[in-house]
């Protein structure tokens, strides 16, 4: 009687868990990302030619074994869907053929499915009443299961099992290899005949497949794409184009093969060819805009909107740099996309995918994207991911590959333990409108290297690798102690750009100085000195990429210079808007004129007019105006330090893993509401503030704080600005 | 006038070289081997289930750039065929689309073709009047060609370029990805109705696709394969089988999907299904039998023929172990196939392919095939390849991967610099009919390890890596000096099997002792002692695999015991023939009875009756009876030391890269003819011998030699036996 009762209870539990559990396609961690990334990186074209990356492309493991330990209270039938050729073993016994269904008896069992697939990623989808393929399954690329002459299996296996990985392929018919971005039809806003063809304007920067409706006749069709009108009309210089032959006796719709970035297309056909109109299929990764920002300044609001649109256009299979020319995944660009994403979509899976793709596989043969700095940003991005999302699992899975990546870096240090560009290393730093020395020890690279070593120590600790933690701590401490002796210049009151053969150069650039502030590597006195002598000093070479403006403005925000930053945002991003930008650019120098704005890489339209790194206002406004950031992983503890930055009011939401923090601030009131975690709202007030609930603590002269619980209850604070 | 003359001369040269040169499909070295090997290793089935290897399968580089520097005296049109998506750059300029033909102007040019292919190996075929894709092209998986903001290309590239690799795909339509082995129809010798179905006998061990002619009706067909009649009739235990449904209103021929090994097939159909007869498509790699052997003993001749057939059956896309169950590439089996091959087909390309496949790619995550000894055999096989073929190029291309493989081994040595089985290492040695300890330091493994280190030193030297040579020399010398102190036992007059926690075990096995002789690690006195106390001592555990009999008999031959070996060959291989063998077996214990001979791995038909390692008489008879071996790479210098081994006469040819050495010997006469290289015929004679040409030199008491030039002139020597 008692036993029956327990059984019934267990069945009830099992039925209830059925609803929560769901099968999904699973694969070896990182493999789908590498495979999908190869496809995506190979979609780049340059004037009709295929244009793949110049770095090593890795491959998925072509032979993978999936396994799961089962404990069934009653027999259960499972169905098995597989991408690849496969076999199934139940309790070590190979079953006949490639079974699609299978009844597993009551009791404890081992289920193993081994899959070979060269062309696409080995993946399985298993579904029963209680058995589901999900991240609880184990995977390996080498099961090392030999037998001796008696048939006895090896008992000394050293196989490395990983947790299976998945995305959102939750139906057996939804094959991972068939993944496509979402598309929807969209129309042009105007179509203007030219001497030879027709110029079609889609009203703003967009991305997708051009569709020629009712295409008819016999002859050639040329489509010249442009992010600007000038580019589309420059048939000899536009960066992307399509050419094809048509032979349609009857009119029919035609959609071009490859998706592309454009606002304008200039379509020129042979005389015998005609079409009714040109439209498009807009292609995107569906995203929810969980973050928001509004303020009293309409120009800032417009900047936030265009930045969000720029982010959405560049958030695709992965976070890519730009949508026209590049269409590749770059680590330095990606870390900024991740940070903006945490304040806009909070799409963690796309961050994880991009981190995995960038790392690729061992052996490491070059820096990530061949760029030294980009390797360092990659390390930093892994910890950021953990801090924002609280997903420790990615770090655990990735840690061995973090270690081998760092081995590569450590194998390329000089006798002082510093990195210098060696043959084959691209020392990038930034695109600059002036000379920047890339030789010897760059202060900027050492600071990123030092932060990477600190990150390794933290991640080693998180994953329980005590020896590694000690090793990286030691390396980081040693390098950190060398930074000021090597690069600080008292006369210049800042870090010099580099040291060559032990001698400080004369040049001071902004890069190392910005990061010195951001990473808290400088004391307060030196931070203030740097602010004056470098950051706000117009004689230091200006930054003309939104990429490095990201860190420049962030370092100003970190020094409480939001009011200054508001002006900079309006000047710089507002400047692009005034030039008609509908998405933000790869590079913008306010001093350029006319079509000079489109030039880059020695090509008249080489510059990308939709570049992810152009979206930094999203990050700055979320983190330093709404003032919300995680203090502990996944926002279990957060900080809210709002700042008006000279605006009359600001309002918005910063997304967190399962909720969000909403902030409103004007010159008298702050309203805050948090959906999870807890943390302090900290602010300044010239008189004692009043809060609708909770206890206001005084911290210093005019600084106060109040604890905000993640219970979705709004707390209103009246304060004096 | 003068200039014209030179031009004409150059054109003539160019025309004449046209005939010699030929375009061929090219790819990244090792990649095609890995890809083809994955396909082949995945053809194994076990009772209808897919049965892939348990070790890591690597993948080809999916993105590869091919390049060639050109210097044309006049413009030339080339045609381009590619497996994959590609672009073409001429002098750094990307051409539109994916051109199939291209006119290259007069002068110096760089031609680059970059190819992406996930499913099959990126490969190109380029052909013009003077331009041909061949091994002179360079390939890389990472071209590291970045540009700065001005468009200037990087000038610090550290790209590793390799020479392109090829096989024999010499026509643009002959795609490497479409490779198939040769097939030809063959008939059964008998077809005998059984109670339920029909038993078809093909007369001897064979391999291919069963074809059911005039198959008709509706229902199931079961095909049970057997290397023996017993296996085919054991529908519940035969190792391989096919099951399929048929629904043919009209009779038509049906060929099964997968090729298999068998002599017998037992075909059982549902009552409604019928067929006229069963035949087969025999599948093989075409080979020329360049080596031959005949002698006065018909049984030995039969053994040589069956061994050659066994070798041919197991020489396929690669040298595989056995054709029924295993169908994988194993390093320990392969090194023996290579050696036999040098005395039979001299098919160097299949050796190179197999060596490349076994090595796979970095990172190294386990021993080759997970077996410690198999890693060592792999090193040895690379040097053997160079010695027999004289092809230094393979070693040059492979050396970096030899070094990383050895790094893996060195990372797993104990404090004495010796290897012990660590978790995940399969310490194989041999299948044995008795207990063999696999723990601690095995003398056998240290000897193979030591020889591997010596091989690394030689190969480092050959490839100009002086530091490496010194390092490996030192390691080898150190390990060699430890062998006798650790394992030699004076009382037992031989190497003991192993040492556990610093203590010699009591067991003596044959393995280390055989290799001590073969590698010349023992002095003459100890060799003779070992011969008596171990090799010819029946109380030492007997070897029951042809695999280790290979080395056992070779060590006896090396000690001049050919007459003894002749007896052993007749007993052991003759014993298999008496049991009806039509190919040689994986394991043969003369003491077994009846169907016990077919058992292995705890399964009644687990043993493979066609195993490459069963063919060693080919090697022994060629190297130690005809007595021909290379002394310098590619037989530029050779030795001929013929031995009758108790036979009345022997005759045969040993192939060399471009020729062969023919030897006839009876008790009075030796006739020798060589096609290339030069070397000494050395022999014993009780009186002063006479030679038809050349000078006979006396070496010692009754030993003489005469220099043989590789000019195909026969030299006849009269001597006294």
- Domains of chain A, earliest start first: 23-146+162-177 (2.60.120.260), 182-284 (2.60.120.260), 628-718 (2.60.420.10)
Model confidence at B21, in pLDDT bands (50, 70, 90)?
low
Question: Per mean pLDDT, which range of A643-657, B95-109, B156-170, B220-234 is the poorest?
Answer: B156-170
pLDDT digits (tens, 9 = 90+) for B607-627: 999 999 999 999 999 999 999
- Mean pLDDT over residues A605-624, rounded? 97
Please give, rounded to a whole number of angstroms, the shortest distance from the CA of A135 to a CA of chain B: 22
- Mean pLDDT over residues B28-40, rounded? 97
Of the residues B34, B42, B85, B118, the best mutation for testing chain A's interface (the one with the most A CB atoms within 10 Å of its CB) is B118
Taking the C-alpha atoms of residue B81 and residue B88, their distance in angstroms, rounded to an integer, is 12
Model confidence at A600, in pLDDT bands (50, 70, 90)?
very high
Model confidence at A151, in pLDDT bands (50, 70, 90)?
confident
Residue A19 confidence (pLDDT) above 60: no
Taking the C-alpha atoms of residue B332 and residue B323, their distance in angstroms, rounded to an integer, is 16
Residue A149 confidence (pLDDT) above 90: no
- The residue ranges of DSSP E strands in A565-710, in sequence order, are 628-632, 637-640, 650-655, 660-665, 669-674, 678-684, 690-691, 696-700, 703-709
Model confidence at A155, in pLDDT bands (50, 70, 90)?
low
Residue in A142, A159, A370 closest to B144 by CB: A370
Model confidence at B155, in pLDDT bands (50, 70, 90)?
low
Residue B154 confidence (pLDDT) above 80: no
Contact A621, A293 (CB under 8 A): yes
What are the residues whose beta carbons fall under 8 Å from the beta carbon of A713, sequence distance 6 or more?
A673, A693
**B250-253 long-range contacts, CB within 8 A, separation 24+:** B250/B216, B251/B214, B251/B215, B251/B216, B251/B275, B251/B276, B252/B214, B252/B215, B252/B216, B253/B211, B253/B212, B253/B213, B253/B214, B253/B215
Instruction: Write out chain B residues lying below 8 Å of A606, CB-based.
Output: 151
How far, rounded to the nearest angstrom, does the alpha carbon of residue A31 sit from its chain's CA centroid? Answer: 17
Cis peptide, bond prior to residue B363, ω within 30 of zero:
yes
Instruction: Write out chain A residues lying below 8 Å of B60, CB-based.
Output: 59
Regarding an ipTM greater than 0.95, the answer is no
Angle in degrees, CA B2, B4, B7, rounded to 5: 115
Q: What is the pLDDT of residue A192?
A: 97
Q: What is the pLDDT of residue B156?
A: 62
pLDDT digits (tens, 9 = 90+) for A365-384: 999 999 999 999 999 999 99
Please state, for a pLDDT cut of 90, what percent of chain B lies above it. 92
Instruction: Write out chain A residues lying below 8 Å of B57, CB-based.
Output: 61-63, 116, 141
- Mean pLDDT over residues A85-101, rounded? 95
Instruction: Write out chain A residues lying below 8 Å of B52, CB-based.
Output: 63, 87, 114, 116
Contact A571, A590 (CB under 8 A): yes
Query: Using CA atoms in the order B698, B700, B704, B708, what is the torsion angle rounded to 10 degrees?
Result: -80
Residue in B48, B62, B114 closest to A97 by CB: B48
Whether A424 and B49 lie within 8 Å, measured CB to CB: no
Q: What is the pLDDT of residue B17?
A: 41
Q: What is the rounded average pLDDT for all residues in chain A?
A: 94
Q: What is the pLDDT of residue A21?
A: 64
Q: What is the rounded average pLDDT for all residues in chain B?
A: 94
pLDDT digits (tens, 9 = 90+) for B656-696: 999 999 999 999 999 999 999 999 999 999 999 999 999 99
Strand partners, A225: A265
Model confidence at A156, in pLDDT bands (50, 70, 90)?
low
Containing B573, the helix (H) or strand (E) segment is: helix B562-578
Instruction: Write out chain A residues lying below 8 Å of B149, CB-based.
Output: 431-432, 587, 600-601
Residue in A54, A98, A118 closest to B145 by CB: A54
DSSP string, A431-480: --SS----SSEEHHHHHHHHHHHHHHHHHHHHTT-HHHHHHHHHHHHHHH
Structural tokens at position A390: 């609280």
Number of H-type helices and E-type strands within chain B: 15, 36
Taking the C-alpha atoms of residue B351 and residue A442, their distance in angstroms, rounded to an integer, is 50
Residue in A42, A97, A157 closest to B49 by CB: A97
Please give, rounded to a whole number of angstroms, the shortest distance from the CA of A554 to a CA of chain B: 25
> Which residue do the tokens 């209850």 mark?
A713
Query: Which is nearest to B169 in space by CA: B126, B130, B214, B205?
Result: B126
Taking the C-alpha atoms of residue A663 and residue A640, their distance in angstroms, rounded to an integer, is 9
- Mean pLDDT over residues A503-508, rounded? 96
Residue B18 confidence (pLDDT) above 50: no
How far, rounded to the nearest angstrom, does the alpha carbon of residue A389 sit from its chain's CA centroid? Answer: 13
Query: Which is nearest to B355 in space by CA: B180, B125, B165?
Result: B165
Whether B86 and A50 lie within 8 Å, measured CB to CB: yes
Whether B116 and A50 lie within 8 Å, measured CB to CB: yes
Model confidence at B382, in pLDDT bands (50, 70, 90)?
very high
Whether A149 and B423 lie within 8 Å, measured CB to CB: no
- Mean pLDDT over residues A541-551, rounded? 94
pLDDT digits (tens, 9 = 90+) for B80-102: 999 999 999 999 899 999 999 99
Dihedral sign from CA coordinates of B227, B604, B610, B544: negative
Of the residues B49, B94, B403, the best mutation for testing chain A's interface (the one with the most A CB atoms within 10 Å of its CB) is B49
Q: What is the pLDDT of residue B152?
A: 76
Instruction: Write out chain A residues lying below 8 Å of B119, CB-based.
Output: 118-119
Q: What is the pLDDT of residue B433?
A: 84
Q: What is the pLDDT of residue B153?
A: 75
Angle in degrees, CA A356, A176, A58, rounded to 5: 40
What are the residues whose beta carbons fall under 8 Å from the beta carbon of A82, sequence distance 6 or more?
A98, A113, A115, A122, A123, A124, A125
Contact B318, B353 (CB under 8 A): yes
Of the residues A88, A145, A370, A585, the best mutation for testing chain B's interface (the one with the most B CB atoms within 10 Å of its CB) is A370
Residue in A116, A141, A600 closest to B56 by CB: A141
Residue in A46, A145, A151 closest to B603 by CB: A151
Instruction: Write out chain B residues lying below 8 Å of A54, CB-based.
Output: 142-146
Contact B214, B349 (CB under 8 A): no
Model confidence at B110, in pLDDT bands (50, 70, 90)?
very high
Residue A116 confidence (pLDDT) above 90: yes
Residue in B118, B149, B158 closest to A431 by CB: B149
Model confidence at A306, in pLDDT bands (50, 70, 90)?
very high
Please give, rounded to a whole number of angstroms, the shortest distance from the CA of B64 to a CA of chain A: 9
> Which residue do the tokens 């650790």 mark?
B486
Q: What is the pLDDT of residue B5?
A: 42
Q: What is the pLDDT of residue A157?
A: 72
Q: What is the pLDDT of residue A6?
A: 40
Residue A10 confidence (pLDDT) above 80: no
Residue in B54, B145, B363 closest to A363 by CB: B363
Of the residues A142, A364, A412, the best mutation for testing chain B's interface (the one with the most B CB atoms within 10 Å of its CB) is A142
Of the residues A40, A54, A140, A235, the best mutation for testing chain B's interface (the one with the most B CB atoms within 10 Å of its CB) is A54
Whether B96 and A55 lie within 8 Å, measured CB to CB: no
**B406-415 long-range contacts, CB within 8 A, separation 24+:** B406/B379, B406/B452, B406/B453, B406/B456, B406/B472, B407/B364, B408/B364, B408/B367, B408/B375, B409/B375, B409/B449, B409/B452, B410/B475, B414/B441
pLDDT digits (tens, 9 = 90+) for A648-703: 999 999 999 999 999 999 999 999 999 999 999 999 999 999 999 999 999 998 99
Q: What is the pLDDT of residue B150?
A: 77
Instruction: Write out chain B residues lying below 8 Å of A431, CB-based.
Output: 148-149
Instruction: Write out chain B residues lying below 8 Å of A148, CB-based.
Output: 431
Query: Using CA atoms in the order B386, B390, B391, B396, what is the torsion angle rounded to 10 degrees?
Result: 60
Question: Per mean pLDDT, which range of A91-100, A449-458, B471-480, B637-646 is the poorest?
Answer: A91-100
Taking the C-alpha atoms of residue B395 and residue B407, their distance in angstroms, rounded to an integer, is 17
Residue in A60, A150, A422 closest to B602 by CB: A150
């Amino acid at each position: 009687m008692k036993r029956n009762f327990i059984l019934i209870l267990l069945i009830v539990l099992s039925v209830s868990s059925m609803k929560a559990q769901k099968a999904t396609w699973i694969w070896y961690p990182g493999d789908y990302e590498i495979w999908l990334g190869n496809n995506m990186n190979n979609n780049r074209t340059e004037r009709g030619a295929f244009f793949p990356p110049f770095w090593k492309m890795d491959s998925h493991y072509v032979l993978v074994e999936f396994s799961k330990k089962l404990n069934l209270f009653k027999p259960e039938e499972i169905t098995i869907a597989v991408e690849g050729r496969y076999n199934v073993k139940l309790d070590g016994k190979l079953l006949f053929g490639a079974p699609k269904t299978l009844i597993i008896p009551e009791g404890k069992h081992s289920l193993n499915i081994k899959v070979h697939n060269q062309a696409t990623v080995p993946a399985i989808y298993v579904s029963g009443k209680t058995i589901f393929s999900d991240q609880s399954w184990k995977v390996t690329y080498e099961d090392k299961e030999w037998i001796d002459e008696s048939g006895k299996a090896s008992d000394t296996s050293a196989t490395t099992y990983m947790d299976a990985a998945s995305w959102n392929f939750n139906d057996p018919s939804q094959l991972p290899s068939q993944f496509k971005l979402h598309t929807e039809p969209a129309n042009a806003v105007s179509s203007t005949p030219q001497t030879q063809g027709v110029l079609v304007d889609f009203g703003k920067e967009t991305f997708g497949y051009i569709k020629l409706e009712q295409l008819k006749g016999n002859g050639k069709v040329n489509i010249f794409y442009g992010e600007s009108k000038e580019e589309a009309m420059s048939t000899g210089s536009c960066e992307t184009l399509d050419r094809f032959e048509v032979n349609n006796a009857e009119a029919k719709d035609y959609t071009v093969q490859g998706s592309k970035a454009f606002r304008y297309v200039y379509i020129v056909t042979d005389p015998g060819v005609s079409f009714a109109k040109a439209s498009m299929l807009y292609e995107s990764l569906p995203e929810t805009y969980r973050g928001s920002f509004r303020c009293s300044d309409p120009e800032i609001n417009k900047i936030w909107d265009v930045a969000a649109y720029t982010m959405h256009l560049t958030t695709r299979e992965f976070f890519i740099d730009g949508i026209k020319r590049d269409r590749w995944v770059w680590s330095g660009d990606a870390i900024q996309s991740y940070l903006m994403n945490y304040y806009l979509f909070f799409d963690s899976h796309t961050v994880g995918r991009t981190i995995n793709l960038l790392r690729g596989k061992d052996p490491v043969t070059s820096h990530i994207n061949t760029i030294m700095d980009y390797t360092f940003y990659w390390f930093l991005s892994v910890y950021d991911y953990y801090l924002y999302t609280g997903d420790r699992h990615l770090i655990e899975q990735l840690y061995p590959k973090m270690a081998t990546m760092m081995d590569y870096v450590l194998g390329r240090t000089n006798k002082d333990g510093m990195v210098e560009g060696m043959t084959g290393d691209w020392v990038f730093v930034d695109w600059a409108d002036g000379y920047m020395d890339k030789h010897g020890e760059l202060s900027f690279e050492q600071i990123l290297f030092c932060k990477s070593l600190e990150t390794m120590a933290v991640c080693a600790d998180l994953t329980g690798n005590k020896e590694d933690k000690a090793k990286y701590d030691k390396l980081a401490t040693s390098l950190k102690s060398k930074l000021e002796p090597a690069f600080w210049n008292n006369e210049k009151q800042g870090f010099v750009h580099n040291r060559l053969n032990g001698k400080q150069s004369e040049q001071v650039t902004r890069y190392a100085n910005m990061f010195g502030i951001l990473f808290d590597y400088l004391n307060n006195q030196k931070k203030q000195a740097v602010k004056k002598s470098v950051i706000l000093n117009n004689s230091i070479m200006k930054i003309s990429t939104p990429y490095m403006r990201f860190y420049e403005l962030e370092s100003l925000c970190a020094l409480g210079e939001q009011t200054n930053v508001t002006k900079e945002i309006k000047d710089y991003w507002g400047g692009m808007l005034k030039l008609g930008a509908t998405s933000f650019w790869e590079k913008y120098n306010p001093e350029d004129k006319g079509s000079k704005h489109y030039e880059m890489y020695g090509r008249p339209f080489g510059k990308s007019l939709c570049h992810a790194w152009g979206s930094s206002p999203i990050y700055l406004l979320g983190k330093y105006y709404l003032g919300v950031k995680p203090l502990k992983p996944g926002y279990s503890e957060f900080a809210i330090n709002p700042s008006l930055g000279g605006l009359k009011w600001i309002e918005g939401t910063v997304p967190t893993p399962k909720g969000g923090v909403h902030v409103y601030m004007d010159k008298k009131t702050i309203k805050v509401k948090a959906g999870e975690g807890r943390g302090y709202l900290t602010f300044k007030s010239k008189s004692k503030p009043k809060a609708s609930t909770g206890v206001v603590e005084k911290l210093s002269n005019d600084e106060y704080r109040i604890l905000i619980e993640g219970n979705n209850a709004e707390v209103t604070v009246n304060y004096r600005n």
